[in-house]
Structure 1
Amino acid sequence: MQASALDSNYLTFEERRIAQANVEQHWDRLTTPQRFAFYTLAKLGYQLLFVRSSPHSRTAVAKQDDKLVTIDDEGDIDFNPDVVLRERRPPRH
């Protein structure tokens, strides 16, 4: 097991949020249909925020200004998703 994987077991919740995956890592988590759908959104100025995985599905979340969209694992885009993002809070000391 790599040292970075071991260290992540001892990070606080806030520290794990700070060490979020970068866009390239999120891109690797997209399904092929999600990649095609996001490519279309990127042309409109959307940025990929993250990919949320569950045992049965993956949902990509993208943002343009204050508008959020989701892309399901079949590549269907929801321009009015029921998603609430957490606020970014500074780490507790």
Structure 2
Amino acid sequence: METPTMSPSDISTSKVPKHERRRGKFGSAQWWECLSMDQKFGVYQLSKFGFELAFIRNLPDAGPLAVVRRDRDYATVNQSGEVNLTPELIIRD
């Protein structure tokens, strides 16, 4: 079964305040499609240790950063596939 991919512009924003950047919830399949091949490999390696892809944070200087989580533990994978097991992230719940 194929999952259709979505872009942030496909998500309805009518109920989201203008100052809010989050526009909707992507599932892991949609986030997975946004990763570079190097990031997919890094995330796949982390998944062997129980991590799951949570979201992608777009950084102005560094590009997309994949954020994975296992319970309350977070790790990141940058665009070139480098894994950081102790990232300095501010996570909104």
Coarse TM-score class (shorter-chain normalised): 0.7 to 0.9
Looking at structure 1, the residues matched to 89 and 12 of structure 2 have their Cα atoms a distance apart, in angstroms, of: 30
- Deviation, structure 1 residue 53: 2.0
Matches within 5 A, 1:9-48: 10-13=14-17, 17=22, 19-48=24-53
Q: Does 1:73 align with 2:88?
A: no
Higher share in helix: 1
Query: Structure 1 residues 54 and 84 mapped into 2: Cα distance closer, same or farther (>3 Å)?
Result: closer
How many residue pairs get matched? 82
Question: Could you tell me the percent identity over the aligned residues?
Answer: 29
Q: Over aligned residues, Cα RMSD in angstroms?
A: 2.4
- Structure 2 residue runs of 5 or longer lacking an equivalent are 1-8
TM-score, with length taken from structure 1: 0.75
Looking at structure 2, the residues matched to 32 and 47 of structure 1 have their Cα atoms a distance apart, in angstroms, of: 17
Larger radius of gyration: 1
Q: Compare relative contact order (CA 8 Å, sep 6+) and give the higher one, 1 or 2.
A: 1
CA contact (8 A) 2:12 2:23 kept: no
Q: Residues 2-55 of structure 1: CA distance to partner in whole angstroms, max 9, x if unpaired?
A: xx84842x2314x97483111111001111000001111011110100011245
Secondary structure (helix, strand or coil) at the match of 1:19 reads coil
Looking at structure 2, the residues matched to 64 and 54 of structure 1 have their Cα atoms a distance apart, in angstroms, of: 22
- Structure 1 residue runs of 5 or longer lacking an equivalent are 88-93
TM-score, with length taken from structure 2: 0.75
